Each structure stands twice: as C-alpha cells, then as structure tokens.
Structure 1
Amino acid sequence: MNFKRNALLGAITLCWAAASVQTASAADASVERAPSTGWAGQNGGTTGGAAAASTAIYKINSASQLLAAVKAQGDKPKIIKLYGTVDMAASDNGGAFTSAADESQRIQIKLGSNTTLIGVGSDTKLVNANLVLNGVQNVIIRNLNIVNPCSISPVWDPNDGSAGNWNSEYDGITVLNSKNVWIDHNSFTDAPKTDDKLPTQNGKLKQCHDGALDVKNGSDYITISNNRFELHEKNNLIGSSDSKTTDEGHLTVTFNNNHFLNVAERAPRVRFGKVHIYNNYFEGSRSHPVYRHQYSIGVAYKAKIISQNNAFDIVGASKCADIMTNPGSSSKTGAATDSGSLLNGAALTAGGACSFSTSVGWTVPYSATLLNASAVKQSVLNNAGTGKLTVN
C-alpha cells in the first residue's frame, strides 16, 4: 500500500535528519523551559525535550515524518522541529479522510512525555490534526499555526439544548490526565473554513469544529501563554462535565498574555479548576456577523478562578456579566475574583462584583509581575502568536 511505503520512507528520512542535526544551542527556543510565572513552573518545572541527545532532535515537514518522530525514543527526551505545512490528510499519510472511522484513525497525533514540539519560523502550519496529550508529563508545544480541525462527520444530538445541536469531536490540542505542559506562542484559527461557510441542517449550523485547546481529566500544572486564538466558537474547555467530580482538586491552569480575537465563548470555560487568568487581551464584538461575543470567562461548576489585570475590548459589552458568566445550570456555579481588569477602558467590576462568590479557596503559588491592564493590549499584540521565537 502506498501509504505504508510513504510512511517507511518518511521514517528513513527522519532517521537521517536526526543524525545530521547538531545539539540545540542555548539561543534556540526549543531548549527553553516553562517560566516560573505559571502553573507549568510548579511540580519541578516543565522542560519538554530540552535534555534530548543529538540523535533525538528531528527537523521534519510531513505527516509521516511527524508520526515517526513522535514514536521514536519512547518517552526519552526529544525535540521535534516542524517547518512548512504538515497535513494529516496529505498523501503521505493516506490522503483525504474518507469516513468518520478513517478520520479517527489518522487525525490524532499522540505526543509522549518529555517532548518539545516546535515550529521553525513564522509559517509552520498544522492542518487536519488533533494534538493529543493523554497520560503524559513534561511536554512543550510552541510556535505552531494550528488550523482548528473541521470534522468530516459532525454528529446530531437531539438532546443537546432545547432544540438539539451538531457536535464534533476533535480539538486543535487536547490535554487529558497530563502534568507539566507548556503551550506557548502558537496561533489557533478556524480559517479558512470559518463557521459562515458551514451548512445548516435540522435548523442548526452543522458545526464541524470542537475546541481550540481543551484541558480535561485531572490534568495539572498547565501554562497557556502568548498564544493567539481567533475566529472560533467554543475555545477553551477546562473540565469536561459537571459529573466528572474526580476533577476536584486538579485542573491547575494558567492563561497569561494571550490574545483572544473574535472568540465567541469559553475563553476559558472552567469547571472545578484552580485557574489563573492574567494579562490577556480580549477583542471582539457582540454583533460580529460570524463569531458573536457571548462571554469570555465561564465560571461553571465549582470553578475557582483568579482573574487579574486583563483587558477586554468588546464592542457592545457594558458590564461584568457580559464578560464573566455561568454558562451552565444556575444551581451549579463556581467562584471567581477579579482585580485590575478593564472593560472598554473602565474597571471590569465597576458598580460591584460579578455576582459570583469570591471564595476561591486558594492563592497563586508563584510570582508574576503583572502589567497594568492599560498596557496589556500593546504588549500582547507585540508578543502573542507565532514568529516571535528563534528556532535553529
């Protein structure tokens, strides 16, 4: 079968690449560790593949090479450098997905522990792909342009909401039962297949996108920093369901210095987690023709959110409830505090709190020097997204 032959050729090329690449220099962003200014700096810190031997540093530009690199070395440290466009539905990985079963077999890239996956330059793109971290530790993902996957087979659920909904399965990145993960300087978007290009069926948009980046199943020590999220509906889910009570005491996540541009909701939506959200810039409109802003921070069941010095420029938003809300059952809410954040230039909490309990029950265990919210927009626009790192 041509697919197997191409995969073998990719693995051979991969081995040659590993042998020819020298050990990464200190100036190379691929050997940087997660900073101490987020949850990923706790629990011994997050180094990814920084300790990789020279034979475990790969520079690749195809799906088959990527799959071979992911499997190589087991859980020994490895650095995988991508360049160009890596498409999981390209000919070297079997071509276009033909069915839901075929898609489920080939769309996922399952990273192992002690891995750094990083793009070279500003134009590395990952397409038709769901990066999955499941039961792993010490992983870094940086400098990738991730096109949020559009499933070929959305599923109609007549019991989802009052009139049913279309649901899809695959995120850009899914973090499950994993620890010490740093996701930094990436860009996520639905484009070019934005929601206005999707059909309507059963009276509802046939939604092919799921999350951009979700963290679930008891994951801990996660930092999500300096990313650009744009043109997406349900962006970041922290905690999968109200019934997954084993998430209590877990889901320790930091969001800092990210840019959320025309993200409709879930930026993030939190259940159970101890989530620190600081110095992020949110930009959107409550009348956007495709990605209408509904809320930014979802304070869902037993959430424990500390929000600090964020800047919200949301056309049509006028009060804290437009930004922070409980998107689930009113009987299953969480706690949240905010200090120093601005909504369209005015204090987010002007006129009182955001109607949530402020008894979050924890304090931030690391030090972070916070920018004033008035300086956040320019800082984030200058630094978030791809093309800001040096990768040799």
Structure 2
Amino acid sequence: MRTRHIAVAAGLLGLLCVPAHAEARDISRDTLATNDGWASYGTGTTGGAAADDAHVYTVTDRAGLVRALDHGSDTPKIIKIAGTIDADTADDGTPLDCADHATDGYTTKKYLAAYDPRTWGSAKPSGPQEEARQASAARQAERIVLPVGSNTTIVGLGSEAVLKGASLQVKNADNVIVRNLDLRDAYDCFPVWQPNTGGLGDWKTAYDNIWLTGATHVWIDHVTASDQGHPDAAEPTCFGRNYLRHDGLLDITNGSDLVTVSWSRFADHDKAILIGNGDTATGDRGKLRVTLHHNAFTSVVQRAPRVRFGQVHLYNNRYEVTDGHRYSLGAGTESAVYAENNAFHAPGHIEVADLVKSWNGTALHQSGTLFDGYPVDLLAIHNAYNSGSERDLTADVGWTPTLHTTVDSAAVADRAVARGAGAGRLS
C-alpha cells in the first residue's frame, strides 16, 4: 500500500511540477489555426514558419533586429526577441533622446514661439522651424521605424520580451505573425501643430506601436501595447491642447485585410485601434476584414476600435473603462461591426450610452453584452440616449461571421481574458 501511495504522489508531482531544466514550448513556428478569424481566410497565416535555419534569429538589441528584418524583405524568417530592446539607440547601442535627433536649429521652445495661434493664426505651420521639425522627425524615424516584410514571424522569448520606442510597420506585406511581445512607448519627439479654424487645433503624432498599411494575412497574438514609460497624461498643455507624443496602439489602414488580433492587451492610451483611416477612402470597400477576440482594453480613452468600411468581428473581449473615457466602439462610415459577448466594467459615473459612438455609421450588431455583470443592449441604449448629433444605428450589418473560435459567454470570456491576455501569458 505504501508503494502505491508513493507512486501516486510521484505521478501528481509530475503533473504539478516542471523540472528546473525544462524549456518553454517553442512557439516560433506556430501558425494560425483554421477558422481563427479573418486572418485564417484563404491561404491562412503562417508567418515565417517555412524559414530555413539560416533565417531564424535570436536578437537582443536594435542592430540585431534590424539585420534580421532585412529592410522588410519577403524571405521567410523567424525573429525571436530576447529581453528588452530599445529601438531608439545608435548603431553601437548607445541610447538616444530627442535632443540627439534635433537638427537645423529645431527646439520645442522655438517651435512653440513660431506657431503660437495668437500670433501665427490658423494657417498650417511653414517656414524654418517647421522645416527643421520635419528634418528632425526624419532623423528619429530612421531609428525607430522598423519595416516588417512578408512571411515574417516575430515572437518574444519567455515572459519578459520587450520592444520599446519602436513603430513596427507592416507595409504592403502579406503573411505576418507578431506574438508574445510587449510593445511600449512609440514616442514622437516632434509632433506637428495642426491649427483648426473652427476650434483650438490639435497636436498630430506620427507613430503607432504597430501600423498595418496595405497589409494582408496578419495575426497579432498575446501582444501588450501601451505608452509605458511616457504617458501622454504627463505631458504639458501647449496652445490649450495636450502635447501628444503617441498616435495609435494598432492602426489597420489603407486597404489592409484579413487580420486576426487575439489575446492581446491594449492599455493606458488615448486612441487604441483605428480600422480604416478616412471617410473618403472608398478603395477600402470589401477590405479591412478584421477579427478581434479575447483582448483586454484597459484605461483606453477611445477607438476600441473605431471602424470605417470593414467587416469587423468583435467577440469575447474585456473592457476596463476608467476616467477620461470618451467611447469604446466607434461605428464609422460604411462600417459593419458584429459585436457579441463582450464584457465592460466601468465606474459609476460612466453610462452604457457612453460605450458606443456613431461616426457616420449606420449599423451595429450587438448581442450578449455585459455591463458590470448585467446584460445590456448597446444598440437600443445608444439609440435611446444619443444626443441627436448622432444617427440611430440599425442591427443589420449585412453579414454573419463564420470564421471564429468558440464564442463563449461574456462572463466566461471576461474571466479568461483577465487571466490570459497580453504578452508573457502564452501557454
């Protein structure tokens, strides 16, 4: 009997404990599962899974990452990021800051003095300081913009892989995977002032943590995207507006198509996800097909997501709404958002009606929504309480998703996403 007890105990130990020398599963050749969202459509998304051994890289600094990306080449490649990589560094690894990029006499003080609306008026900035800003911005872009080519997989190793100060740009590329990576602080040293004859104007920034433009078959999974390190809330007010340093966390624009974003975390940011960049971009019709599932949106002010034109399936996501919130779901021109079984959490002064905004949109499907644990109808409440400046939305978006994993109840997904979304949580 004692022998049997020992054997049972040993078996349990084997189930519960992992030997110290055991290695984490190699995820670098994983491909997107069948039916896992729009990115599984047609040829599916395999990233760099076909890479030969000569094109599998483990990188620990910017120089190694740039070499592995190979100027956005289409050669199948797998890039594993180990530890923290700071993109804003010199070729020898020396950290750079905004002063290192400034050129041609640019300073923030001079720029603000030159284009103060009280003296400059509402015209678009031009002249020596704007030219110096553009030249300085180009110098920064050379460091932090990282082009990603077709047939590429970028994965973080372990639970602490970080890429900070970078803008990953997937431009006119196909078949790309980005997984298990903490993307922080795509910081713009040189925002441009955009006057507005009808109001205060605003600061325009250049960099998204990830920008898909003309990209197809892209899978983004277990990524964390945030401003960590330099929150815009800590920036000063200039010309009566927050001196923004960040654009989007993830922008999907310019005819991008067949994208799945899963088990990722978007946090502590103003404009999270933009799908479709213009009301007049009619070439986007039939494109911008995106699936967003099992993602966490935490302290995001707006665009979670904002959609134009695209057929977007939004299911099993978790929203933690905080002060400063403007809206979560933005229904834009010709958008067709199919939202089901999403869970929202909010402080008492935020109403259900605050969650949806119509930006020239006409339709939104919603079902199975929870708000602080209670079932709500986002569509009915939006239509009942909109101020009259927005049109009512109908429920018929003209399509029903067929490419998806199991759609859990909002309550079940809520708990799973709280535990499992984001970088370093990939099992």
Please state which band the TM-score falls in when normalised by the shorter chain: 0.7 to 0.9
**1:27: Cα distance to partner?**
4.3
- Structure 2: segments with no counterpart, 5+ residues: 1-22, 102-135, 384-392
2:39 aligned partner, one-letter code: A
Q: Contact conserved, 2:366 with 2:379, CA < 8 A, in 1?
A: no
Q: Contact conserved, 2:58 with 2:80, CA < 8 A, in 1?
A: yes
Q: Contact conserved, 1:29 with 1:389, CA < 8 A, in 2?
A: no
**Structure 1 range deviating more: 140-149 or 82-91:** 82-91
| Corresponding residue number in structure 2 for 1:335 | 363
CA 1:110–1:160 in structure 2 vs 1: closer, same or farther (change >3 Å)? farther
| Corresponding residue number in structure 1 for 2:190 | 153
Of 345, 349, 357, the residue aligned with 2:373 is: 345
| Corresponding residue number in structure 1 for 2:273 | 236
| Corresponding residue number in structure 2 for 1:28 | 26
Higher helix residue share: 2
1:45 aligned partner, one-letter code: G
1:313 aligned partner, one-letter code: H
Q: Contact conserved, 1:185 with 1:386, CA < 8 A, in 2?
A: yes
1:352 aligned partner, one-letter code: A
Rg bigger for which structure?
Answer: 2
Please show how residues 121-270 of structure 1 align to structure 2 within 5 Å.
121-159=158-196, 162-270=199-307
CA 1:160–1:185 in structure 2 vs 1: closer, same or farther (change >3 Å)? farther
Secondary structure, in 3 states, of the residue corresponding to 1:113? Answer: coil
Secondary structure, in 3 states, of the residue corresponding to 1:302? Answer: coil
Q: Distance in 2 between matches of 1:320 and 1:253?
A: 25
| Corresponding residue number in structure 1 for 2:39 | 40
May I ask how many residue pairs the two structures share in their alignment?
A: 357
| Corresponding residue number in structure 1 for 2:345 | 313
**1:368: Cα distance to partner?**
2.7
- Structure 1: segments with no counterpart, 5+ residues: 1-24
Secondary structure, in 3 states, of the residue corresponding to 2:28? Answer: helix
**1:240: Cα distance to partner?**
0.4
RMSD of Structure 2 on Structure 1 (CA)? 2.0
Secondary structure, in 3 states, of the residue corresponding to 1:144? Answer: strand
| Corresponding residue number in structure 2 for 1:12 | none
Secondary structure, in 3 states, of the residue corresponding to 2:407? Answer: coil
Please show how residues 29-68 of structure 1 align to structure 2 within 5 Å.
29-35=27-33, 36-68=35-67
Q: Distance in 1 between matches of 2:87 and 2:313?
A: 33
CA 1:55–1:350 in structure 2 vs 1: closer, same or farther (change >3 Å)? closer
CA 1:350–1:324 in structure 2 vs 1: closer, same or farther (change >3 Å)? closer
**1:298: Cα distance to partner?**
0.5
Deviations 1:62-115 (A, max 9, x none): 111111101189312110000111111123367425121201222111011000
Q: Distance in 1 between matches of 2:236 and 2:197?
A: 19
Secondary structure, in 3 states, of the residue corresponding to 2:287? Answer: coil
| Corresponding residue number in structure 2 for 1:10 | none
1:293 aligned partner, one-letter code: H
**1:334: Cα distance to partner?**
3.3
Q: Contact conserved, 2:379 with 2:395, CA < 8 A, in 1?
A: no
Q: Distance in 1 between matches of 2:82 and 2:405?
A: 32
| Corresponding residue number in structure 2 for 1:22 | none
1:215 aligned partner, one-letter code: I
1:296 equivalent in alignment to 2:295: no
Q: Distance in 1 between matches of 2:202 and 2:73?
A: 40
Q: Distance in 2 between matches of 1:211 and 1:354?
A: 25
Q: Distance in 2 between matches of 1:160 and 1:122?
A: 48
**1:374: Cα distance to partner?**
1.3
| Corresponding residue number in structure 2 for 1:76 | 75
**1:26: Cα distance to partner?**
11
**1:51: Cα distance to partner?**
1.1
Q: Distance in 2 between matches of 1:164 and 1:68?
A: 40
Q: Distance in 2 between matches of 1:122 and 1:363?
A: 36
Secondary structure, in 3 states, of the residue corresponding to 2:255? Answer: coil
| Corresponding residue number in structure 1 for 2:386 | none
After TM superposition, the score normalised by the length of structure 1 is 0.87
**1:378: Cα distance to partner?**
1.2
| Corresponding residue number in structure 2 for 1:87 | 86
**1:45: Cα distance to partner?**
0.7
